[in-house]
A and B are shown apart, each in its own frame.
Chain A
Amino acid sequence: MISLLLILLPILTGSLLLLLKGKGSIWLALISAMAELGITIYALLNFDPLGGFQYVWDYAWIPDLGMAWSFGVDGVSMVMLLLTNILIPLIILSQIGRKIENHHALVGLALIMQGALIGVFTAMDTIVFYVFWELALIPVYFIAGLWGGQERIKATLKFFIYTLFGSLLMLAAFVFLLGSDIIINQLDGISLILSHKVEMFIFWGIFMAFAIKIPIFPFHSWQPETYTQSSTTGTMLLSGIMLKMGLYGILRWLIPLAPNASAFYANLIITLSIIGVLYASIIAIKQNNIKRLLAFSSMAHVGLIAIAFFTGTLAGWQGGVFQMFTHGINVVGLFLVADILIEKTGVTDIRKMGGIASNAPKLAILFLLLVLGSVALPLTDSFVGEFLMFSGLFKWNMWAMIITGTSVIFSAVYMLRLYQKTMFGVVNENTKNVTDISWNELLVLSICSGIMLFLGIFPNALMQVSNPVLEQILSNFSRF
């Protein structure tokens, strides 16, 4: 029942908000998001990491096709639920006080998307997963298209068609699985042995959808445009939560459904991802548009998680799941800083900013913490995640790890360059009137950096939730 409540509450409030107008709407959204977070924490406290799927809710939907609305939460889902339900209130909170046209519709769509995302993270049925996967796309399409920069229509159209193309291939794979005699609709029943050819087909169908969403090189070309052009809320939702759908899908569906094919193509995909990580890191060094820079840095970090999942090692998986959470928190903080800077200075080019630290010390301190988190300094949470992922990759292949390891150096280069260009240097006419951040921005950024430091010191708080499940999945698929 809890999982159903978690899905329906934001969707209903969101739909209501689309109809309502007025100043109270954003507070209503915030209340709904906080209630959602409260339910999630309650669920977390009663959660048994060893217990497999919990809070299961089943309802026969189309019995003759074996479809059922079935939702459940296991360790990995729980981490994703926490991430979603922590980030949504933060995103809404950070936008209070902004002058945004039709703000009620914006938060309404964000809440509908929250419901859809929770559906994705708790679905235990292939078609239900697909339904929510598509459902999450529609609100974010409008969020990115209605509130954003000049080129947003072109960028979002590209984004929509790109991702829809991928998900249609995934649908083909799912329909094929349903159509064949194997009954695997329900997740608990996944223990099928498919013929080699069929498995390859399934693998590519599902992988394309995830690869585009994550994005894995060379399917990434929608990403920088969309991140740069869409509004901050859109960018935060996309980078913080939405692309985790693809990563989550790899663990939840791709590897369990096609373990042999995943092992078979692991080399190819890891190679592609390594190229993507380095490529994105190097491009990020040369970027001057602050949002583009963050978009490429996000692509580099997320590519690393994909690599870790395909190494098929426990350390890699643990680090990957941990990093999904930390990257979400971190990137939302960074995009918020970017948004604040763009808002206050009126320029997007980091060369035109400078000296902001002297006018806005609070912003400078919190920004520094987030930057350090992003370059994975010890005592920040990213350090734990990246350390585990690299040790997983090391077990897979030493040279791959060494080559990929250079991306950490690159990330220090571009992030510190970003910090230096914006915060230090001489105050110019763009930055001379910059004021410090408002209370809600201060709160959001403090929470982001607080979580970051807390998990950097006590990583086990989060890891113990997901580890038993990961061990279990990995032992079920020892072939992998």
Chain B
Amino acid sequence: MGLVFLLSEKNMNYASKYKEDVYGLMIFSTIGGLMLLSYANLVTLFLGIETLSIPLYVLVGSKKSDLKSNEAAMKYFIMGSFATCFLLLGMALIYGAVGSFDFREIALQCYTDAGRVNSLFEMGILFLLFGMIFKVSAAPFHFWTPDVYEGAPSIITVFMATVVKIAGFGALARLLRGGFPDSILFVNFLWIIAVLTMTVGNLGATQQKSIKRLLAFSSIAHAGVMMIAVLAVSKASMTNVFIYLLAYSLATIILFTLFMHFADKKGLSDISSFNGLGKTNPFLAATSTLALLSLAGIPITAGFFGKYYIFYNAMNQGYIWLVILGLLNSAIAIYYYLGIIIAMYFKEPVEMKSETDDLPFLHKLVIAGCAIGIILIGIYPNRLMMLF
């Protein structure tokens, strides 16, 4: 969980041109995220989600003069509040069925009264899951993601794609493992959600020209893979989700740093901004290739083991078809990741301005750190496993 702090700290580095309140709101939001990673009571879950989300609504709109940013904030706020309503309704129904907000109580009731779990309880879980699925941007509640990711200031997008994702999945995994163990109610539901999310994310991403939207769709696809881990609940699945998220975050940070740099300097936001990077700046091209290969799950990167552990675990639990569908989705994903690699190495640079090609030293350091992390986890994943 120190991970969250670490990541947000890294993110802060980029934000040098933003005002102090942005930092403040980010820290608030991170506190909400930490609550989500350690709650044991539905009320705390709700508090955590709100503490996480409310600063985010503001942060998304923090580019005050930008129309897109405001639109994104509005969209996120309205849809987010709507999802929260569902979440609350679900909690209320569960309270009605069980008479407690506490996890141990609920789990106890689940075990003892498994035979007569009533429809109130089922509806409660369903609504609760709706709310959570919205927060982690899984299909079919994913429509806000591309728009919000695109509209929000890039630094906030990184924050949302990493810290908020970690918190959301942590919360979901905790909910399913701690709150409703052995409940088969949501298995089929989550199975469909996982496949749908992966497919929608990947197919959506193949059609994108803008890097931010592409990464938004790819983040939806990754959410689908993590759904598999959450679904195959076992002792290891929390760890699996975290390794996957770590791998995903490291790669995303590299790509977004580069993207922000290009957006600042060249004013470009589509894939062509990466054109010819292999010639103009081999270091950045190599690290972002590494990041893309990691996202695609090629061996000797962190992403491979992230995927591997999740699929291994799911296979153990008997979800063979889910794993096969997941792997086929990885094959679709390689198409759009390669698109960026092709742009970097096989295409000519659009406009060669030598002074625009260098990043500040701090950013380079972050990128190098992430790249080393990706390779180290790719070679020694078990060292990381031991931490959990």
Residues of A within 8 A of B (CB): 61-65, 127, 130-131, 134-135, 138, 142, 145-146, 152-153, 157, 160-161, 164-165, 168-169, 171-172, 175-176, 178-179, 201
Q: Which residue of A lies closest to B325 (CB)?
A: A172
CB distance from B340 to the nearest CB of A (A): 12
Residue of B nearest to A69 (CB): B379
Contact assessment for B299 and A131 in the assembled complex, using a CB-CB cutoff below 8 Å: yes
Question: Of B300, B315, B338, which is within 8 A of A160 by CB?
Answer: B338
Do A161 and B331 touch across chains, with their CB atoms under 8 A apart?
A: yes
Is B345 a contact partner of A64 (Cβ separation < 8 A)?
no
For B317, the closest partner residue in chain A by CB is: A179
Name B328's contact: one of A62, A130, A145, A168 (CB within 8 Å): A168
Question: Any chain A CB within 8 A of the CB of B43?
Answer: no
* Contact pick for A178, options B312, B335, B346, CB 8 Å: B312
Query: Is A64 within 8 A of B299, CB to CB?
Result: no
Q: Which residues of B contact A152 (CB under 8 A)?
A: 346
Contacts of B330 in A (CB 8 A): 164, 168
Q: Which residue of A lies closest to B318 (CB)?
A: A179
Q: Are B345 and A175 in contact (CB under 8 A)?
A: no
Q: Let me know if A165 and B315 touch, CB within 8 A.
A: no
**Complex-state Cα separation, A152 to B315, whole angstroms:** 38
Known: A146-B346, A164-B334. A131 touches B315 (CB 8 A): no
Give me 6 other A-B pairs in contact (C-beta within 8 A), A135-B299, A135-B300 excluded.
A64-B385, A131-B304, A168-B331, A172-B323, A172-B327, A176-B323
Chain B residues with Cβ below 8 Å from A61 are: 382
Pick the residue among A130, A142, A201 that contacts B299 (CB under 8 A): A130
Asked whether B334 lies within 8 Å of A131 as measured between CB atoms, the reply is no
- Kindly state the separation between the CA atoms of A219 and B382 in the bound complex, as whole angstroms: 37
B138–chain A nearest beta-carbon distance, Å: 22
Contact with A along B345-388 (1 / 0, CB 8 A): 11000000000000000000000000000000000011001000
Contacting residues, chain B, for A135 (C-beta < 8 A): 299-300
Q: How far is the CA of A477 from the CA of B312 in the complex (A)?
A: 29
* Cβ distance A106 to chain B, nearest Cβ, rounded Å: 13
Considering the complex, give the chain B residue whose CB is closest to the CB of A205: B324
Distance in Å: Cβ of B384 to nearest Cβ of chain A: 11
22 A-B pairs within 8 Å (CB atoms) are namely: A62-B385, A63-B382, A130-B299, A131-B299, A134-B299, A135-B299, A135-B300, A138-B293, A142-B345, A145-B346, A152-B346, A157-B335, A157-B338, A161-B331, A164-B334, A165-B328, A168-B327, A169-B327, A171-B311, A172-B327, A176-B315, A201-B320
- What's the nearest-Cβ distance from chain B to residue A239, in Å? 22
- Cα separation A172 to B297 with both chains bound (whole Å): 13
By beta carbon, the residue of chain B nearest A62 is B382
Interface of B, secondary structure class, is helix
CA distance A135 to B375 in the complex (A): 13
Q: How many positions in chain B have a CB within 8 Å of any CB in the partner chain? A: 26
B316 at the interface (CB under 8 A from A): yes
Contact B315 A138 (CB under 8 A): no
Which B-chain residue is minimally distant from A201 (CB atoms)?
A: B320
Pick the most buried of A61, A138, A153, A179: most chain B CB atoms within 10 A of its CB.
Answer: A179
Residue of A134, A175, A178 with highest tally of chain B CB at under 10 A: A175
Partner of A145, one of B299, B324, B342, B385: B342
Tell whether, in the assembled complex, residue A179 and residue B338 are in contact, meaning their CB atoms are under 8 Å apart: no
B345 touches A165 (CB 8 A): no
- Within 8 Å by CB of B345, from A63, A127, A145, A161, lies A145
Q: Which of B304, B324, B335, B382 contacts A161 (CB 8 A)?
A: B335
By a CB distance below 8 angstroms, the chain B residues around A171 are: 311, 327
State A175–B304 Cα separation when bound (angstroms).
13
C-alpha spacing A172/B323, complex, angstroms: 7
Of B293, B311, B345, B346, chain A has the most CB atoms within 10 Å of the CB of B346
> Contacting B342 at CB < 8 Å: which of A153, A165, A172, A178?
A153
Least Cβ–Cβ distance between B333 and chain A, in angstroms: 10
Which residues of chain B have C-beta atoms less than 8 A from A165's C-beta? 328, 331
- By the criterion CB–CB under 8 Å, are A179 and B346 in contact? no
7 shortest interchain CB distances as A-B pairs:
A179-B315, A131-B299, A168-B327, A165-B331, A62-B382, A179-B316, A134-B299
Assess whether B308 is interfacial by the CB under 8 Å rule.
Answer: yes
Q: Give Cα distance in the complex from A201 to B321, angstroms.
A: 11
Q: Let me know if A175 and B323 touch, CB within 8 A.
A: yes
Contact of A175 among B315, B328, B334, B346 (CB under 8 A): B315
Closest to B324 in A: A172
> Main secondary structure on chain A at its contact with chain B?
helix
**Chain A contacts for B385, CB-based, 8 A:** 62, 64
**Residues of chain A lying within 8 A (CB to CB) of residue B312:** 65, 175, 178-179
Q: Which residues of A contact B335 (CB under 8 A)?
A: 157, 161
Q: Which residues of B contact A164 (CB under 8 A)?
A: 330-331, 334
B55 to chain A, nearest CB (A): 39
B342 touches A157 (CB 8 A): yes
Question: How near does chain A come to B10, taking the closest CB pair, in angstroms?
Answer: 27
Chain B residues near A64 (CB-CB < 8 A): 382, 385
The yes or no answer to B298 lying at the interface (CB within 8 A) is: yes
Shortest CB-to-CB span from B250 to chain A, Å, is: 19
Which residues of A have CB within 8 Å of B327?
168-169, 171-172
Q: How far is the CB of B42 from chain A (nearest CB, A)?
A: 34
The residue on A at minimum CB distance from B286 is: A18
User: What's the Cα separation between A200 and B383 when bound, in Å?
Assistant: 35
Q: Which of A62, A134, A176, A179 contacts B298 (CB 8 A)?
A: A134
Q: For the complex, what is the distance from the CA of A160 to the CA of B324, rounded to whole Å?
A: 19
CB-defined contacts of B298 to chain A, threshold 8 Å: 134, 138
Indicate if the CB atoms of B320 and A161 lie closer than 8 Å. no
Complexed CA–CA distance, A20 and B382 (Å):
34
Query: For chain B residues 284-343, which have a beta carbon within 8 Å of chain A?
Result: 293, 298-300, 304, 308, 311-312, 315-316, 320, 323-324, 327-328, 330-331, 334-335, 338, 342
Contacts of B311 in A (CB 8 A): 171-172, 175
CA distance A63 to B383 in the complex (A): 11
Query: B residues within 8 A CB of A63?
Result: 382
B381 with A160: CB separation less than 8 A: no
B378 and chain A: residue at smallest CB distance: A131
The residue on A at minimum CB distance from B311 is A175
Q: Which residue of B lies closest to A65 (CB)?
A: B312
**How far, in angstroms, from A153 to B275 measured CA to CA in the complex?**
14
Which residues of the partner chain A approach B320 to less than 8 Å between Cβ atoms?
A: 176, 201
Nearest-Cβ distance from residue B298 to partner chain A, whole angstroms: 6
* Shortest distance between the CB of A133 and any CB in chain B (Å): 8
Q: Which residue of A lies closest to B342 (CB)?
A: A153
B331 to chain A: which residues have CB within 8 Å? 161, 164-165, 168
Closest partner residue, chain B, to A134 (CB atom): B299
Nearest-CB residue, chain A, relative to B347? A153
State the Cβ distance, A169 to closest chain B Cβ, in Å. Answer: 7
Contact of A161 with B334 at beta-carbon distance under 8 Å, contacts A61-B382, A178-B312 already known: yes
A183 to chain B, nearest CB (A): 14
Assembly CA distance A152 to B345 (angstroms) = 13
0 or 1 for each of B107-130: is its CB under 8 Å from A? (1 = yes): 000000000000000000000000
**Nearest neighbor of A137 in chain B, beta-carbon distance:** B298
Knowing A64-B385, A169-B327, A179-B312, the reply to whether A153 touches B346 (Cβ < 8 A) is yes
Kindly report which residue of chain A lies nearest to residue B327, judged by CB atoms. A168
Q: How far is the CA of A465 from the CA of B43 in the complex (A)?
A: 71
In whole angstroms, how far apart are the Cα atoms of A179 and B385 in the complex? 18
Task: Report the Cα distance A352→B274, complex, angstroms.
Answer: 41
Minimum CB–CB distance from B317 to chain A (whole Å) comes to 9
Contacts of B316 in A (CB 8 A): 179
A81 CB, nearest partner CB in chain B, Å = 21
| A65 vs B311: C-alpha distance when bound (angstroms) | 13
Report the separation of the CA atoms of residues A63 and B304 in the bound assembly, to the nearest whole angstrom.
Answer: 17
Interface string of B11-33 (1 = CB under 8 A from A): 00000000000000000000000
Please measure, in the bound complex, the distance between the C-alpha atom of A171 and the C-alpha atom of B315, giving whole angstroms: 12
A187 to B206, CA, bound (A): 39
